[in-house]
Each structure stands twice: as C-alpha cells, then as structure tokens.
Amino acid sequence: MSAEHQSRTVERLRPFASTIFAEMTALAVAKGAVNLGQGFPDTDGPESMLEAARDAISQGLNQYSPGPGMPVLRHAIAADRARRFGTEYDPDAQVLVTVGATEAIAATVLGLVEPGEEVLLIEPYYDSYAAAVALAGAKRTTVPLVAEGAGFAVDLDALERAIGPHTKLLIVNSPHNPTGTVLTRVELTRIAEIACEHDLLVLTDEVYERLVFDAPQLGHSAGSTPAFSGHSAGSTPALHVPLCTLPGMFERTVTVSSAAKTFNATGWKTGWALGPAELISAVRAAKQFMTFVGGTPFQPAVAHALDHEDAWVENLRRGLQSKRDVLSTALTKAGLDVKESSGTYFVCADVSPLGETDALGFCRSLPDRIGVAAVPVTAFVDHPGSWKTLVRFAFCKKDAVLADAAERLLAL
C-alpha cells in the first residue's frame, strides 16, 4: 500500500491499514512456503452441511433473511447451547445471527460502548478487537497473559488494577488465539467476580469452544501422525467453560461464536451473538446497518450441522489434537521452546533458544530460509515485552502438509 493511499485513511483506522498476516501470506506465496501463518483449515466441513447449503440455493433461499437471522438457525444455536452447557436463550430475543464472529464482535462494541469509554483486552488479543474499539471511538487498555507452567494464565491482579471509572467492557477469548490457552474454571470464576464487582459488560469470544484438547503427547517422530487413540491415561483434558454460566454473568455477557472453526467453514462467515435481550438488541442496532443480514443459504446448512454433526466435530477435535502433537514435537526437535496448547488451531513457540531475539525478523526470514511461514505474536500485542521472541504456528492443516512442514523445520 502506498504512503499516499494510506494517508487518506481516517486517523483512528490508520494503525490497522495493513496486517502482518497479509505480509506473511504474501511471502509464503512468493517463496512457495508451507503457510502455517494464517489460521484456516485446508479441508471441508461435514458433507451433509455442504449439501444443505446447495439444497437451500436450489430451493430458492436466495433473498434476505429476517434481520435477526433465520429462525431455524436461531433455534439450532439455542438448542445446541442448552444441550452442551445447560444455558437457556430465547431464540427470538436473545440470539442474533451475524456475518461471522467478526461482525458480532464489532457490533457488540459499537452497540454497547460510548466513544471515549474504555474496553479492556487481554493481551495477546485477536486483531479485530482493537480495530472494533477504534471504530467505536473508544479506548483500549490491555492486561497481559503471563507464563504459568508450560503455558499461560491471566494476570488477575493486573486485570483488577486496570479497571477504572470509564471501563465499560471486558473482552475475554477462551480457548485463546494466539496462545492455545484454555482458561480454567478458577480463572474464569475470578474474572466473573471482578466483572460483577465493577459492573462491567463482558464479551466472550468462544469461536474455538469445541476445539479443546487433552494434555499433549509429545515425542512421536516428527512428520508421523500419532495413533488416533483419543484420551490417554492420566491426561487432563481441557474443558471449555462459558463465562455466561458463572454466577452473576448471564445478565452482563454477550457470548460470541461461529460456524467457522467448528465446521471448517471460515468462508461462510456465519456467526452469532447470545445474551440477554437488552444487550442483544443493542448489538442488533449496530449490526443491522453494517450488513443487515448475512448469506441466507448458509443459515439452514449451519443449523443442520449444529443439530446433526456432533460426531463430525468430535472427529475434527481429535484430529486437531493429534496435529497439535505432531507440530509441537517438530518444533521441539527444531530447538524451539514450545508452549503448551490446550485448544484452538495454534501453538506458540519461543525462538530464543535458537539465538533469535526478534520474532518479527525471524518470521520475515523463515519462508526464504526453510520454506515455512508463521506469524510473530507481537502482531497481537500493544506491549511487546515478553512476547518479542514468540511465534504462532497453525496446525489446522492436512497431515501431509504438516509432515512437510515438520521436515522443513528440522533445517533450522
């Protein structure tokens, strides 16, 4: 992008004009590298879901859906949540279908936060949060994840200290992109207490709600997929706890999720927001003038998948768990200090044991050096500090692609 072109961008969006993801993907393409930078799967979702979308088009479901989304999808979303977490949402007043989780996030911030109010983010954070805060003319404050055990935990004292008189909304993402951290019930309980004490609204981004794993099984030879054996004796599987299920949280929480990561359908951009009617109507007020509605034929298809494809999703989860092990093993063999990933598509690793001091420089050179692309975790933070040497790798790729990447990594 030329400097001249960029200078026309409004000031509050200028920091977001270009992203490291686009830069690394362009490098990957130019160098023919295996792209472990961007987090999208390279296989399709359940066949019955794809078929349902084709049927919907054939049957003429090609015009605007109702503003809140098609009833069949809103009912399926509420029923799925009730089945898995015991939460009750009224499909008519408390469920809103959005253009992916991304729109649900932007509309939540735009609909609930006044210009000048503060939004608290836990860093590293998914890049769209800061942009949504900027779109709303609000201010962001961040509190860090900190190293704990083989992974990360929320700095709860910093969280409490960061809350001021203008703090309106806290955004929590678990399972967490980019680190793969799954917040524990103990952490979430304390976050809930803090939110209640300070009367905060909370947005929880739960797009990886189904993709949580058992403790890692490392040591398989790089490039081979471990046996598809599922739970191993003695491991403690991570458990996803929706924040809205904790005491005092239902009335202050907008829960956001999406079909993208659950059903390998990132291109369908079909997501949703759930919450009490007074919050969801605020989200809808913003959403209706951004896009009005999303793609109609995808909605009955996602409803079908929510109703019928639990077994497919469990298979996806187990496959990703094995891929997490394969990539973690390969990165360890390559000499990186691998952090434990308990969910999502991602594992982070510290490159300082290789003598590297800057993850961004490392990622810029990687496609040329060994034919692999990844992204620096500094792309997800305001305060590089302890994140300067951390790199995020995506493992949501075919086994053959990961095996190829594993081999290339050995050249480090």
Ligand X SMILES: *Cc1c(COP(=O)(O)O)cnc(C)c1O
Tell me which residues touch ligand X (CB under 6 A): 100-102, 126, 173, 177, 205, 207, 258, 260-261, 266, 269, 271
| Pairing verdict, β 372-373 and 375-376 | unpaired
Whichever of 262 and 329 has its CB closer to ligand X, that residue is 262
2 CB-near residues (< 8 Å, 6+ apart): none
- 3-state SS class at 177: coil
- Quote the CA–CA distance of 123 and 143 in Å, as a whole number: 6
Classify the phi-psi angles of 276: left when phi > 0, otherwise alpha if psi is within -120 to 50, otherwise beta. Answer: beta
Residue from 234, 299, 246, 330 nearest 91 by CA: 299
Whichever of 102 and 342 has its CB closer to ligand X, that residue is 102
CB of 336 to ligand X, least distance (A): 22
CB of 173 to ligand X, least distance (A): 5
Q: CB atoms < 10 A from the CB of 312, how many?
A: 18
Nearest residue (beta carbon) to ligand X = 100
Whichever of 100 and 376 has its CB closer to ligand X, that residue is 100
CB of 225 to ligand X, least distance (A): 24
Token pair 């961007």 is at which residue? Answer: 38
Q: b/e per residue, 60-87, with b = 16+ CB within 10 A?
A: ebeeebeebbbbbbbbbbbebbeeeeeb
The two tokens of residue 45 are: 């979702």
158 CB-near residues (< 8 Å, 6+ apart): 143, 144
CB of 256 to ligand X, least distance (A): 7
CB of 347 to ligand X, least distance (A): 14
CB of 349 to ligand X, least distance (A): 18
Token pair 């202050």 is at which residue? Answer: 252
Q: For residue 129, how far is the Cα from the chain centroid?
A: 11
**Distance in angstroms between the alpha carbons of the first and the last residue of the chain:** 32
Whichever of 167 and 181 has its CB closer to ligand X, that residue is 181
Whichever of 111 and 223 has its CB closer to ligand X, that residue is 111
Q: CB atoms < 10 A from the CB of 59, how many?
A: 10
CB of 222 to ligand X, least distance (A): 26
H or E segment and range at residue 35: strand 34-35
CB of 15 to ligand X, least distance (A): 19
CB of 81 to ligand X, least distance (A): 16
Token pair 């949504």 is at which residue? Answer: 132
The two tokens of residue 331 are: 């990165």
H or E segment and range at residue 154: strand 151-154
Query: Helix 100-112 to helix 127-135 angle, to the nearest 10 degrees?
Result: 40
Whichever of 100 and 300 has its CB closer to ligand X, that residue is 100
CB of 107 to ligand X, least distance (A): 12
- Quote the CA–CA distance of 225 and 405 in Å, as a whole number: 13
- 3-state SS class at 139: strand
Whichever of 174 and 329 has its CB closer to ligand X, that residue is 174
Whichever of 126 and 393 has its CB closer to ligand X, that residue is 126
CB of 106 to ligand X, least distance (A): 10
- Number of alpha carbons in the 13 Å side-chain half-sphere of residue 23: 14
Whichever of 177 and 389 has its CB closer to ligand X, that residue is 177
Whichever of 222 and 283 has its CB closer to ligand X, that residue is 283
Whichever of 101 and 169 has its CB closer to ligand X, that residue is 101
Q: CB atoms < 10 A from the CB of 122, how many?
A: 25
